[in-house]
Structures are given as C-alpha cells and as structure tokens.
Amino acid sequence: MRLEDRYGRVATDLRVSLTDRCNLRCSYCMPAEGLDWLPDDTVLSDDEVVRLVRIGVELLGIREVRFTGGEPLVRRGLVDIVRRTSALGVETSLTTNALGLAHTAHALAEAGLDRVNVSLDSIRRESFKEITRRDRLADVLAGLAAAQEAGLGPVKVNAVLMRGINDDQAPELLSWAIREGYELRFIEQMPLDAQHRWSREGMVAADEIFERLEREFTLSPAAEPRGSAPAELFVVDGGPATVGVIASVTRPFCGDCDRVRLTADGQIRNCLFAREESDLRAALRAGASDEEIAERWVTAMAGKRAGHGIDDPTFLQPDRPMSAIGG
C-alpha cells in the first residue's frame, strides 16, 4: 500500500500536529485572547501518535516526519516522541517558534531530530512584539543559536511579511540570516487565520518580495531542482547563500505535493486547505488493526483534490485555522 491520490501523487512526507496550543498570538494566525483549545481527551496520546507514525512508515511509505503545532515545544512528550520516531529510520524535523528551544535543542538532537524550521517574521523587537503580541524576540534568537549549536541544521527561518508592519524588512531579514548562517524562506500569507480576515489585496505576494529583495541583492535561480519542495530557491549575490520564496497562493505547487497531515486529535487531512477530514482516532481507540487503519488512510488520500482552489470563486477557507492543522 501507498498513499497515492487519483492524480498519481504519492504522499511520503507526514506533518504531525502535536498540539493546537501556542505561546504566541501572531496576528495572522489567531486573536489576542487565543482560541478554544482541543479538549484533552480528544488529543492523541504519545503512544497513539507514535503508532500512527509507525503505520505510516512501515505500511504506507512515509519517509519524512515533521512535527508541528500549534507550538510543538509545549508538548510534554515531544523528546520521547522524536526518539521513538527517529528509531523508525525516517528523517525527522520540527517547525517551531523557538520559544524554549534554547533549553531543549540538545535533548532533541540527542533524540534523533535532524533539523528545525523556525518561524520568525522580524528581528526588530517592536515589530516582533506587534506581530506576536509577546515581547519574546530575545528568546527566539537564543533558541535559533541553540539549534545551530546542537547541529539541527540547516536551520531554516520562515518569515511572513505583513503589509504596513514588516513588509519593508525583507532585505534586513536576509542580511541577518546570511550573517548568522540560517536559510531564510519567505512565505506568502495564506487564508488560514482563525479570524478569517485574510485578503489577497492585503497579502504581500512573491513578486513584491522579489522586488524588495532585488533593490539590495542580486538573485539568480538556484541550480538544484525544486521537486516537491515548496520553496523557489535563489542564489544571493553569486552564493553560497540562498533565499527561498514559498508562493503558496500566487504560484501554487499542488501538482508536486507529497504531503499528508495528521492533526493533534487524530484526523487525516490530505491537503492544507481541505474542508474534509478522515478520523483515525476513532478507529485507533476502537481497536482497529494496523492494516485496517492503513486502509482508512489510503482511502482518505484517494480523495485529494487537484489543487487548493484559492483562485476559484467558490473557495471556502477551512474551518480549522493553521494552529489547529499543523504547517
């Protein structure tokens, strides 16, 4: 068995959300007061997470596992989950806001974590505070440094530009990332905010990002093929540094997608923008065998749509926000 959809795409990259909770309140993700978190009894236990990951790896051909949230570092069992997943022989990574990473980076590396992606939209204290509603920039920078020291590289930094807040900071972010040895990726803001306030007009699109960067840098397409990776890579000033742009909205890469998502409460999502989910938690807790769960998973992937459809007039934003889906 493998996770193949009707268009011939095969999912080998599993994104596992370990929690919908987060210790930041980024304005493009959730309101200042937070959200109604998932009830504890609906969230998969550590053993349940590892079992589903094992089924994906051993029966369905999953080769990469990335742990996400919410914020995965708030999950108490994270290090043990990473250790048990790494033992399955797959590449493991973590998408995090890096709060607390300074204290856990070495433990995660020892558990077998391969690398981290850190979300950071500004290196200016006031801009960071405005976006996240928390004055924690110093902690994020300390977490990044700890990840690099622990060998969790290449350390990638993901940045979203917000119009009127940090859309003038793209060159500054790139200069900083090159200086520190991080790989920077700009991501177009996607319609996954809890408030449903996203608009194409307000989004800082890839073309605008390139235009701002090229005022100060010479960019040339990287020689390596993108494949299923979402970022378009560019060499900066002749190299060796690169910068990436993930243009999920204006330059979708759905045709090359190899991802599948498992939410913290055990639902399979075959697309980030899917409006339907398939419940593996119920089968798991009802005593289903590994093979029965795998068959449910295969069925869930078969119904994947050709693309996310953001440009379609009938597009509806998913009910779950990004914090409850996992990036």
Angle of helix 170-180 versus helix 206-213 axis, rounded to 10: 70
Phi, psi (rounded to 5 degrees) for 297: -65, -45
CA distance 98 to 147: 9
Q: What 8-state DSSP symbol labels residue 52?
A: H
Q: How far is CA 30 from CA 39, 136, 220, 324, in A?
A: 18, 17, 36, 10
Is the pTM higher than 0.95? The answer reads: no
The pLDDT of residue 239: 85
Residue with tokens 């856990």: 104
Q: What 8-state DSSP symbol labels residue 230?
A: S
- 284-307, pLDDT tens digit by residue? 999 999 999 999 999 999 988 876
> For every residue of 72-125, which 3-state class applies, written as one string?
HHHCCCHHHHHHHHHCCCCEEEEEECCCCHHHHHHHHHHHCCCEEEEECCCCCH
The pLDDT of residue 217: 96
258 within 8 A of 61, measured Cβ to Cβ: no
The DSSP string of 238-288 is: TSS-EEEEE-TTTS--GGG--EEEE-TTSEEESSTT-S--EESHHHHHTT-
152 within 8 A of 192, measured Cβ to Cβ: no
The total of other beta-carbon atoms located within 10 Å of residue 132's CB is: 24
The total of other beta-carbon atoms located within 10 Å of residue 255's CB is: 11
- 78-121, pLDDT tens digit by residue? 999 999 999 999 999 999 999 999 999 999 999 999 999 999 99
The pLDDT of residue 195: 60
- The secondary structure element, H or E, covering residue 261 is strand 259-262
- 118-160, pLDDT tens digit by residue? 999 999 999 999 999 999 999 999 999 999 999 998 999 999 9
The strand pair at 183-187 and 278-279 is best described as unpaired
Angle of helix 137-149 versus helix 101-111 axis, rounded to 10: 30
Q: What is the number of residues in the chain?
A: 327
- Using DSSP's 3-state secondary structure scheme, residue 323 falls into helix
Q: What 8-state DSSP symbol labels residue 41?
A: G
Query: Is the confidence at residue 50, as pLDDT, over 70?
Result: yes
- 172-231, pLDDT tens digit by residue? 999 999 999 999 999 988 665 556 565 656 778 889 999 999 999 999 998 865 554 677
Query: Is the confidence at residue 308, as pLDDT, over 80?
Result: no
Angle (CA) 219 220 221, round 5°: 125
- What residues does 115 pair with on adjacent strands? 93
The pLDDT of residue 13: 96
The pLDDT of residue 285: 97
Calculate mean pLDDT across residues 24-39: 78
Under 8 Å CB-to-CB from 266, ≥6 apart: which residues? 42, 44, 48, 52, 279, 280, 281, 282, 284
Instruction: Provide the sign of the torsion angle of the four alpha carbons 93, 96, 101, 107, taken in this order.
Output: negative
Task: Tell me how far the alpha carbon of residue 126 is from its chain's centroid.
Answer: 25
The strand pair at 242-246 and 232-236 is best described as antiparallel
